[in-house]
């Protein structure tokens, strides 16, 4: 049996702890703290994410059951519901947000060589938001409707590796289109959005920043056709037009021509109309770009199913944001682990293996290998036969 480090400790070694200490000092997270510092809070919350813990009591019970292993996990303090709840409530959530952005930059560099779902030599982002329902009586700050609370997870996903490069956590009342005000456009990049982000003044700002966008038009979209381009209708593209906005305020917001593409999806038996400011790409490539937006829907589905961001360990705004950012950090940690060890398994499988082997002392390379490491002992000539 391997007498080395626990699997949990080996996984935690992939985190840049010196950079984390810098984040803690910047926001004075460990000021006047004698026990249970921010580093231990991060370890405990990461343990809860990796092993699917449901509550503070669940975390406390599981860690107390393995009390002789806590020191080797990097947890020196006694873990109780009170100190974990107090830490989640009082430790500034920006510590974990800034640390997550450090992991984002590291993961982005590791996945820079991955192929895009579209044959395109450019950065492609998918922008969308996901709503997490909350009880308004327990989370009074998360106002959404009269008798319902919620938080929104606005995410800009880099489709090269499915790495979230921008995340904004807001209450449910913030409309999706307002998130465009927080983005810093990357020149030459493509931003793929649904029609909930159709605001021509904001889209024109993307255009002026030399970035490209692909979105869907609404049913009441009014335009003047300037030119019709030839299309290959065998690809599903029905028309490719250069248009100008007809409505006064829309034209004031976006005074330049747009490209309008109508596409028939046989699988959905539905006609879709796309708008973009890119006049160079083939129309079929624009439709493929919009189809790739589905990856952000899969990202939201994945983190909601496999990480703890639907049930929270605290009710304060700080506790909710800290837990979401730590969950994002765990997602990035698994993605970094996959690349650095060259694991040819999906993230879901890696997470499942970690969840059941977190207290073992197996090397990570061996843990994710399909090879059987049992030692085959040669037969001993002096061994007596029990049955002949």
pLDDT band at 132 (very low <50, low <70, confident <90, very high): very high
Is residue 209 in some structural domain? no
Per-residue pLDDT, 380: 53
- Give residue 376's pLDDT: 45
In this prediction, residue 56 carries a pLDDT of 93
**Cα end-to-end span (Å), the chain:** 33
Indicate the average pLDDT of the chain.
Answer: 89
Residue 261 lies in a domain: no
* pLDDT at residue 117 in the model: 81
- The band of 118, judged by pLDDT with boundaries at 50, 70 and 90, is confident
Cβ proximity of 98 and 23 under 8 Å: yes
pLDDT of residue 3: 66
Residue 247 lies in a domain: no
Q: Is pLDDT larger for residue 50 or for residue 379?
A: 50
Residue 231 pLDDT: 87
Which residues are CB-contacts of 108 (< 8 A; sequence separation ≥ 6)? 158, 161, 163, 165
Quick check: is 100 in a domain?
Answer: no
DSSP state of 144: E
- Residues 150-173, mean pLDDT to the nearest whole number: 92
Percent above pLDDT 90 for the chain = 69
Q: Is residue 55 part of a domain?
A: yes
Does residue 88 form part of some domain?
yes
Domain count, the chain: 1
- 21 within a domain of the structure (yes/no): yes
Q: What is the pLDDT of residues 343-357, one digit of tens each?
A: 988 888 999 999 999
pLDDT digits (tens, 9 = 90+) for 247-282: 999 999 999 999 999 999 888 888 999 999 999 999
SS3 300: helix
Which pLDDT does position 183 carry in this prediction? Answer: 92
**Tens-place pLDDT, residues 283-309:** 999 999 999 999 999 999 988 888 888
Structure tokens at 323: 């837990």
Mean pLDDT of 362-366: 89
Q: Which residue range is the domain that position 332 belongs to?
A: 7-95+313-367
The Cα 177–Cα 224 span in angstroms is: 25
Check if the beta carbon of residue 73 is closer than 8 Å to that of residue 8: yes
Q: How far is 24 from 3, CA to CA, in rounded Å? A: 33
Which pLDDT value is given to residue 379?
54
Q: What is the pLDDT of residue 370?
A: 60
Q: Please tell me what DSSP assigns to residue 373.
A: -
Tens of pLDDT along 190-203? 999 999 999 999 99
Angstrom distance (rounded) from CA 330 to CA 101: 12
pLDDT single digits (tens) 217-230:
998 889 999 999 88
Q: What is the pLDDT of residue 388?
A: 45
Taking only the tens place, the pLDDT of each residue in 305-329 is 888 888 899 999 999 999 999 999 9
Prediction pTM value: 0.89
> Would you place residue 4 in the very low, low, confident or very high pLDDT band (cuts 50, 70, 90)?
confident
Residue 2 belongs to a domain: no
- CA-based torsion, 16, 17, 20, 21: positive or negative: negative
pLDDT of the residue at 1: 44
Instruction: Specify the pLDDT at position 19.
Output: 96
Query: Contact, 111 vs 160, CB < 8 A?
Result: yes
């Amino acid at each position: 049996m391997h007498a080395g480090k626990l699997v949990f400790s080996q996984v935690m070694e992939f985190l840049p702890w010196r950079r984390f200490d810098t984040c803690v000092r910047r926001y004075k997270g460990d000021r006047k703290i004698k026990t249970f510092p921010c580093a231990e809070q991060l370890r405990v919350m990461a343990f809860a994410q990796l092993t699917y813990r449901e509550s503070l009591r669940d975390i406390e019970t599981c860690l107390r059951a393995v009390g002789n292993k806590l020191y080797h996990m990097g947890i020196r303090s006694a873990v109780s519901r009170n100190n974990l709840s107090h830490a989640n409530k009082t430790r500034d959530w920006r510590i974990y947000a800034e640390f997550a952005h450090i992991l984002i930059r590291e993961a982005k560099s590791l996945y820079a060589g991955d192929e895009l779902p579209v044959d395109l030599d450019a950065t492609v982002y998918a922008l969308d938001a996901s709503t997490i329902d909350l009880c308004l009586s327990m989370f009074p700050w998360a106002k959404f409707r009269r008798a319902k609370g919620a938080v929104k997870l606005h995410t800009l996903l880099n489709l090269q590796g499915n790495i979230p490069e921008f995340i904004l956590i807001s209450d449910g009342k913030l409309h999706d289109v307002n998130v465009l005000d927080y983005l810093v456009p990357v020149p030459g990049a493509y931003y793929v959005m649904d029609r909930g982000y159709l605001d021509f003044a904001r889209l024109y700002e993307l255009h002026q920043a030399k970035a490209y966008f692909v979105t869907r038009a609404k049913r009441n979209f009014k335009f003047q056709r300037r030119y019709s381009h030839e299309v290959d209708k065998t690809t599903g593209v029905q028309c490719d037009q250069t248009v100008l906005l007809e409505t006064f305020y829309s034209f004031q917001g976006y005074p330049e021509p747009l490209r309008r593409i109508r596409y028939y999806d046989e699988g959905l038996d539905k006609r879709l109309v796309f708008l973009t400011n890119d006049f160079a790409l083939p129309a079929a490539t624009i439709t493929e770009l919009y189809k790739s937006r589905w990856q952000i829907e899969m990202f939201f589905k994945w983190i909601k199913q496999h990480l703890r961001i639907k049930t929270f360990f605290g009710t304060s705004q700080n506790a909710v944001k800290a837990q979401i950012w730590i969950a994002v950090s765990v997602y990035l940690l698994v993605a970094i682990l996959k690349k650095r060890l060259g694991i040819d398994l999906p993230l879901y499988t890696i997470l499942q293996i970690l969840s059941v082997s977190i207290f073992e002392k197996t090397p990570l390379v061996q843990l994710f290998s399909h090879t059987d490491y049992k030692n085959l002992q040669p037969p001993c000539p002096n061994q007596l036969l029990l049955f002949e």
